[in-house]
Amino acid sequence: MSGILSLARELLLIYRGEQVQQRSLFWNCIIIAFIISATALWVLEHKELKETQRQLTVSLDTSTPKLECEFGWISADMPSEDKSSVYTRIFTAYTVRNTGAPSVAKYWEYTIKLPGGRTVKGVNQTIPKSLTVKTVNGLWKYYEEDALYNKAYINPIQNGSEVSGILIFHLPGLTKDDVFTHGSMVTLSFKDVKGKQNSCVHEMTGKKEIDLKYLPGMKSPLG
């Protein structure tokens, strides 16, 4: 008699010894063994099903791009002294990471929503070959090769990777004070290779200057 049947027989003999006949003992053991075996089989199949579902979920996650962006820093100035054409130039840095299928990031848009509800869309600018910016740590230089619109497009962002870079936008009709007003919401949006739009939002704190910093993967601003 198998292990399960032997165990069932011993239990029946211990608790119902004198009441159990040999014929009923055999069938009772069969029933108990069947219940135990069926339960064990169900538990095993359920565990295998959960593992299969987990593997399918992982496979789905890596077959579709999953881009996210993170705010790095922002600087602003007003190049024009002509009051009839007031605009603020935004110099900003972001990091884009990917936890899905390889993808480019393209069609960049930048908007700001002021506390009063006014929304202004930024005008994309080309990064010059080099750009010198005055910071609290002295003069830092940034380079065309760190333009995020190129870095995230020429070489698709791989699964588990991220890329950091710089962008420049003009915000027409806004002063620097407008941009840095506490509660102003700046939004950077872009699309992945399948056309899905992604975005990240940063709320301005009212601080007039945000310290520029080095982001991994970018050329050192110290030269």
**pLDDT by 10-residue block (mean), the chain, 223 residues:** 53 50 54 70 77 62 87 86 77 96 97 96 96 85 96 95 97 92 96 96 82 88 80
CATH no., domain 67-203: 2.60.40
Sign of CA dihedral 133, 134, 136, 138: positive
CA dist., res. 95 & res. 166, Å (int): 9
Q: What is the pTM of this model?
A: 0.71
Domain locations in the chain as residue ranges: 3-61, 67-203
CA dist., res. 26 & res. 41, Å (int): 22
Give residue 80's pLDDT: 64
